Structure 1
Amino acid sequence: MTAVHVDIVSDVMCPWCYIGKRRFEKAVALLDGECTVQVAWRPFQLDPTLPPEGKDRDTYLAEKFGGIERARELYRNMEKAGAGEGIPFRFDSIALSPNTLDAHRLIRWAQNAGDGTQDKVVEQLFRLFFLEGANIGDHAVLAGVAGDAGMDAAVVKALLASDADRDAVSEEIVTAQRMGVTGVPCFIFDNRYAVMGAQDADTIVDAIRQVAEQKGAATG
């Protein structure tokens, strides 16, 4: 069976990335075993200038969107899009906009922690932030996510307290930007094609099929 590798460039404080994850999952289900889809989550930061301790959410949104009411209007539209994908966004529960670099370090470590671990970590980070308003920049929260996904929480907490892979994650983000990734989510299929944005499931299915057919023809 043909295998298609998909790099998903994403930020866990991006609501469209959560919506994009659901649509991607729907796409894989629609393929119904036509090919094997291998996924790796790659880092991106919507705002790397946020301080390590994060920033008050209302202050951040007012600065970013030119007023809190404008921000709330935009988020109401996202709530509708999320509801359509089964995501009950609770933006009002978010008190802090986090710096997500440490969350991306955890996601990076999860990639080598066993099948499915990275996806579990990404899903839990999205859920905690958007549904419970948790501070996903907090090391204790991140260590808890690691433990829930089957990783060694104590080891992860120690790594987070160090500079382990901080530069590597930052370099990955720079590399994505050099490749032309200006917004997320971005789905990169076998390093051949990229689909930008939280596209519908059919668009993603078409991209996966196209890559699978080309690979099949090349090896057939």
Structure 2
Amino acid sequence: MNIIYLSDFNCIYSYIGLNRIKNTVFELDLDVEWEMKSFELLPGANNISAMERFASDNKLSIDEAKKEIEEIESIAANEGLNVNYKDLIINSSKDAHRLAKYVQNRHPESAQELIFKIFESNFIKNENIADHDVLINIAASCGLNESAIAEMLKKDSLEIEVELDIEEAVSYGITRIPYYIIEYKGERLTIPGVFEKKDFETAFKDLISGEIQNKSYIGRIDFNLI
């Protein structure tokens, strides 16, 4: 089974959704190959308050935004993710995406570990994921060569590939993330958005059994987003 997912390291729903789908895969003991596609929500972001951004995007007061963010934090905490979303300062995720692509290409066995650690760095530790030292330390914690990572980050390596991922997704009408594409025995199905864990589980079981044909919450796609 292949799981292609469109995410951004500044998207709390991407973090929660990926954690849910990872746990579902583990509990069902599925053999999965993962691929993250870049979908940078805030290109060029620099020291943006997540609280203020959330309030602005949802036309809320700061107090209303704080309450909703605390509810999101509670949902995440119930799943073992002790996020601190309300104090997050958003910075560009482009270099984090470049790093993820580099590791997927060169060290695929370490890619998922690295991706989760970038999410953790941002949402739990509230580190600046645009800072190359932060990214280098994350890569080193995954057993990757610090010098090679530092050299890659200094250059514009894979920047075009990151941008092409977004352009390709938008060209197929995908404008929101997270977004999951599941490939299994010739079937290619999509899961738009964050499902509850039990719904992810049902979706995987139905796909494997062939019962997915009768379901409406997952849609077929005919394009080739690979």
User: Could you tell me how far apart the structure 1 residues matched to 2:52 and 2:74 are?
Assistant: 24
Equivalent of 2:128 in 103, 116, 135: 135
Moved more, 132-141 or 150-159: 150-159
Once the two structures are overlaid, the 10-residue window that deviates more, 112-121 or 167-176, is 112-121
The amino acid across from 1:137 in the alignment is: A
- Alignment partner for residue 9 of structure 1, among 6, 14, 17? 6
Tell me what 1:89 maps to. Answer: 83
Deviations 1:60-108 (A, max 9, x none): 44544444323212211211210221111112442x2111111100010
In 1, the alpha carbon distance for the partners of 2:171 and 2:68 equals 29
2:200 to 197, 204, 208: 204
Quick one: which amino acid aligns to residue 196 of structure 1?
P
AA aligned opposite 1:104: H
**TM-superposed deviation, 1:184:** 1.4
1:121 matched to 2:114: yes
How many angstroms does 1:147 deviate by? 1.3
Q: Is 1:166 matched up with 2:159?
A: yes
Q: 1:1-220 to 2 correspondence within 5 Å? A: 4-32=1-29, 35-48=30-43, 50-51=44-45, 53-57=46-50, 60-66=53-59, 67-94=61-88, 96-190=89-183, 192-213=188-209
Q: Please report how far the alpha carbon of residue 163 of structure 1 lies from its aligned counterpart in structure 2 after TM superposition.
A: 1.1
Name structure 1 gaps, 5 residues minimum. Answer: 215-220
User: Structure 2 CA distance, aligned partners of 1:131 and 1:197?
Assistant: 22
The count of residues paired between Structure 1 and Structure 2 equals 206
Contact 2:84 2:123 in 1 (8 A): yes
CA distance in 2, matches of 1:87, 1:179: 32
Q: Which residue of 1 aligns with 2:223?
A: none
Q: Output the aligned Cα RMSD.
A: 2.1
Q: Deviations over 1:149-187 (max 9, x none)?
A: 122222222221211111111001111122232211111
Partner of 2:220: none
The amino acid that maps onto 2:152 is L
Contact 2:70 2:86 in 1 (8 A): no
In the TM superposition, residue 6 of structure 1 has moved relative to its aligned partner by 0.4
TM-score by length of 2: 0.81
Q: How far, CA to CA, are the matches of 2:57 and 2:64 in structure 1? A: 10
Tell me the CA shift for residue 205 of structure 1: 3.0
Contact 2:8–2:14, Cα closer than 8 Å, also in 1: yes
User: What TM-score do the two structures reach when normalised by structure 1?
Assistant: 0.83
Q: CA deviation at 1:144?
A: 1.2
Structure 1 residues 25 and 56, CA gap change in structure 2 (3 angstroms): closer
Percent of residue pairs identical: 24
Amino acid of the structure 2 residue aligned with 1:46:
L
